[in-house]
Amino acid sequence: MTSLEIIAQHKLVAIVRLDDLSIAGALTTALTDGGIRAIEFTLTNPDAVAAIAEIRQVFDATVAIGAGSVISAEQVWEVADAGAQFVVSPVWKREVNIACAEAGLPFMPGAFTPTEILRAWEWGASVVKVFPANHLGARYIKDVLAPLPHLRLMPTGGVNLDNMREHLDNGAFALGVGSSLINNDAVADRDWDRLRDNARRYVDQLP
């Protein structure tokens, strides 16, 4: 199963944006034990590439590990060499789009307006990350898909237990979920049971 197929089936992409990635393995174990099957490590942490390489050595092909906050072609090749299985960006950039195509990696660029979303899709995005979704609401997904039903949209930013089903019911292909899933206090306390249970709560909300 490809990373895109895993995301299509399981609907959730956990976004790991932490200052300390020395716990990447334990964190990934907690999330996967809770049923999460796609995890994005953002390059806002300089250790993310090493964390991706480490995780890819441990977890099998049923777990998709990707790189987020990718904004240059050079970063695409770095994460590709580390074993990343998909690439996410807060924006659409031509050089990143082209590098992902050359590396054979699904590309999920961020876009906000219908024009930006369609441009990213026509350039070959595998999924368009609708970002920041907290300023738009779940109904926005339905409104965009009404005239453009062929798009795959992944709302990201502000997605939580209270609104995730609404996003999916309005046609979202998948959801990017960050701090509401990966609780900073639980990470600081190394409370992996709490993180696992929180992941299960998200998975249990899926249709």
11 is catalytic: no
Residue 74 confidence (pLDDT): 98
In the set 78, 122, 129, 142, the catalytic residue is 129
Residue 166 confidence (pLDDT): 97
End-to-end C-alpha distance for the chain, whole angstroms: 21
Alpha-carbon torsion angle 24, 25, 31, 32, nearest 10: 140
Write the CATH number for 127: 3.20.20.70
In the set 40, 54, 95, 102, the catalytic residue is 40
Question: Per this entry, what is the length of the chain?
Answer: 207
The Cα–Cα gap between 125 and 194 comes to 35
Contacts from 95-103 at CB under 8 Å and sequence distance 24+? Answer: 96/70, 96/71, 96/72, 97/123, 97/124, 97/125, 98/73, 99/73, 100/76, 103/76, 103/77
Q: At what angle do helices 24-33 and 48-58 cross, to 10 degrees?
A: 50
Number of domains composing the chain: 1
Residue 135 confidence (pLDDT): 87
- Residue 9 lies in domain: 3-204
One digit per residue, the tens of pLDDT, for the chain of length 207 reads 999 999 999 999 999 999 999 999 999 999 999 999 999 999 999 999 999 999 999 999 899 999 999 999 999 999 999 999 999 999 999 999 999 999 999 999 999 999 999 999 999 999 999 999 998 999 999 999 999 999 999 999 999 999 999 999 999 999 999 999 999 999 999 999 999 999 999 999 999
93 is catalytic: no
Residue 157 confidence (pLDDT): 96
The Cα–Cα gap between 148 and 59 comes to 36
Residue 35 confidence (pLDDT): 98
